């Protein structure tokens, strides 16, 4: 709660405001761990005050003892709370790319090199906590969710590491800004418009997708599939029912071209549409290329091609 009041002041920003991300493993030194009472902690202090006055007023020796015992417990708890957080090592881990509108998960490795257990360590980002306990000389991997709102690079920004262990009356915290980023692809649009016509052929119209010209690959069996297209050999080997997919357009080259998009669409909508097209084309096993102003990726198929296309779309113009 102190933080809430403090966060409005300039001084606070000067001390705790945004900084450059720290590369590599972050070590929580003593001088970057702060500690203050929590709201229940203030309540506890107030209760102790009332108890002390009561003990004086009624001359209760045992009242003094109880009050002083609890007060001492509060003092000792300061050391324990601080110790529970300080000297942790936090290392950035993996981050998987996501589409805008999804949640990006930043993996952080919290390592406890000391000889005692760390309990209830929380990593806070955007008001959401991720908790872990770390045994002595062990580590824990935490995934921090961050909403990916825009395409491009997403950094986790400032993450608060805090703990209220052992008594919840005090909170020790520290700010970390790990040097990690997540690639956010444009959000695919709603998908009502079909893929553009392939341009590699002679202009002759071909059968609708899913025709039976060329073998294009396998997909899991669906109830409506013709029994003739089931890959029986694989089924006999015990690999489950799968359906052969044939595509009349497989051989054709599909260009996902920025210039073919209606001119009245804005930049993000264009990227969204191209993203969706790339995903659809990839799903259907088509050979597709991407043409953006000043950039061209030759038609290809496969995972790495899809990722390359998405990456260009994510970072276009940034």
Partner 1 sequence: MVSSPSIQLRHLFWLLGGLALVVAPHMPRLPWWLNLIALILFTWRVYLAWGERALPRKWLLALLVVGGLFGAYVTYRTIFGRDSGVALLVLFLSLKLLETHHQRDALVLVLLTYFLALTNFFYSQTLPTAGLMLASTLVNTASLVNFAAPGRTLQANLKTAGLLLAQAGPVMLILFFLFPRVQGPLWGLPQDAYSGVTGLSDSMSPGAISRLSQSDAIAFRVRFREDAPPKRQLYWRGPVFWDFDGRTWRAGDARPYAQIKFEASGKPYDYEITLEPHNHNWLFALELTANIPPNASITRDHMLFSRIPVRNRVRYDLRSYTNFTVGDADDADELRPGLQLPADFNPRSRRLAEEWAAGGTTDAAIAQKALDYFREQGFVYTLEPPLLGRDSVDEFLFGSKRGFCEHYASSFVFLMRAAGVPARVVTGYQGGDINPVDQYMVVRQSDAHAWAELWLNGRGWVRFDPTAAASPMRLESGVAAAVPATDPLPLMARTTLYWLRGLRYNWDALANKWNQLVLGYNPERQREFLTRMGMSEPSWENMALTLFWGVGGLLALLTAWLLRRMRNADPVQRLWLRFCAKLGKKGHARAAHEGPADFVARTAERYPTEAGRIRAIGERYIALRYGERADAHMLAELRLLVREFSV
Size of the site for partner 1 (CB under 8 A): 58
Give the range of 98-106, 115-123, 144-152, 202-210 binding partner 1 by CB under 8 A. Answer: 115-123
Is residue 87 a contact point for partner 1 (CB under 8 A)?
A: yes
List the one residue from 9, 12, 18, 65 that touches partner 1 (CB under 8 A). 65
List helix spans (H) across the chain: 2-6, 10-16, 39-58, 61-85, 232-236, 267-283, 303-315
List the one residue from 6, 16, 21, 80 that touches partner 1 (CB under 8 A). 80
Residue 28, phi then psi, degrees to nearest 5: -85, 90
Pairing of strands 182-185, 138-147: unpaired
Give the range of 128-136, 152-160, 229-237, 241-249 binding partner 1 by CB under 8 A. Answer: 128-136
Pairing of strands 98-99, 88-95: unpaired
List the one residue from 34, 68, 109, 221 that touches partner 1 (CB under 8 A). 68
For 220, the token pair is: 């899991």
For 54, the token pair is: 């009561």
Which CA distances in Å does 218 have to 115, 158, 240, 241, 269? 54, 45, 12, 10, 32
What is the CA 18 to chain-centroid distance, rounded?
Answer: 20
Is residue 2 a contact point for partner 1 (CB under 8 A)?
A: no
Is residue 131 a contact point for partner 1 (CB under 8 A)?
A: yes
| DSSP tally for the chain: helices H, then strands E | 7, 17
DSSP 8-class letter at 25: -
Taking the least distance from each CB to partner 1, the nearer of 62 and 223 is 62
Q: How far is the CB of 39 from partner 1 (least distance, A)?
A: 8
Q: Which of residues 242-301 bind partner 1 (CB under 8 A)?
A: none
Please, what is the Cα angle at 147 between 142 and 149, to 5 degrees? 150
Is residue 53 a contact point for partner 1 (CB under 8 A)?
A: yes
Is residue 7 a contact point for partner 1 (CB under 8 A)?
A: no
List the one residue from 43, 194, 240, 302 that touches partner 1 (CB under 8 A). 43
Q: Which of residues 148-167 bind partner 1 (CB under 8 A)?
A: 164-167
For 153, the token pair is: 């690079």
Give the range of 123-131, 189-197, 218-226, 259-267 binding partner 1 by CB under 8 A. Answer: 123-131
């Amino acid at each position: 709660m102190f933080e809430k009041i403090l966060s409005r002041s300039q001084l606070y920003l000067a001390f705790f405001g945004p900084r450059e991300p720290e590369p590599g493993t972050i070590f929580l030194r003593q001088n970057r761990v702060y500690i203050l009472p929590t709201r229940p902690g203030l309540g506890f202090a107030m209760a102790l005050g009332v108890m002390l006055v009561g003990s004086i007023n009624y001359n209760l020796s045992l009242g003094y003892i109880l009050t002083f015992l609890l007060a001492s417990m509060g003092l000792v708890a300061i050391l324990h709370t601080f110790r529970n957080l300080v000297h942790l090592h936090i290392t950035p881990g993996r981050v998987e790319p996501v589409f805008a509108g999804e949640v990006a998960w930043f993996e952080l490795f919290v390592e406890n090199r000391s000889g005692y257990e760390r309990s209830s360590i929380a990593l806070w980002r955007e008001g959401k906590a991720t908790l872990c306990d770390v045994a002595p000389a062990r580590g824990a991997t935490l995934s921090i969710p961050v909403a990916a709102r825009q395409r491009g690079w997403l950094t986790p920004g400032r993450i608060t590491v805090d703990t209220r262990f052992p008594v919840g009356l005090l909170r020790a915290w520290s700010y970390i800004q790990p040097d990690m980023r997540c690639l956010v692809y444009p959000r695919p649009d709603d998908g009502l418009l079909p893929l553009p016509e392939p341009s590699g052929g002679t202009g002759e119209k071909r059968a609708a997708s899913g025709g039976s010209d060329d073998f294009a690959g396998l997909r899991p069996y669906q109830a409506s599939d013709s029994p003739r297209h089931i890959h029986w050999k694989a089924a006999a080997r015990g690999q489950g029912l799968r359906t052969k997919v044939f595509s009349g357009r497989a051989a054709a080259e599909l260009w996902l071209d920025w210039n073919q998009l209606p001119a009245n669409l804005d930049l993000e909508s264009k990227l969204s549409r191209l993203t969706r097209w790339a995903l659809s084309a990839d799903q259907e096993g088509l050979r597709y290329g991407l043409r953006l102003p000043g950039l061209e990726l030759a038609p290809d198929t496969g995972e790495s091609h899809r990722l390359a296309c998405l990456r260009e779309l994510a970072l276009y113009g940034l």
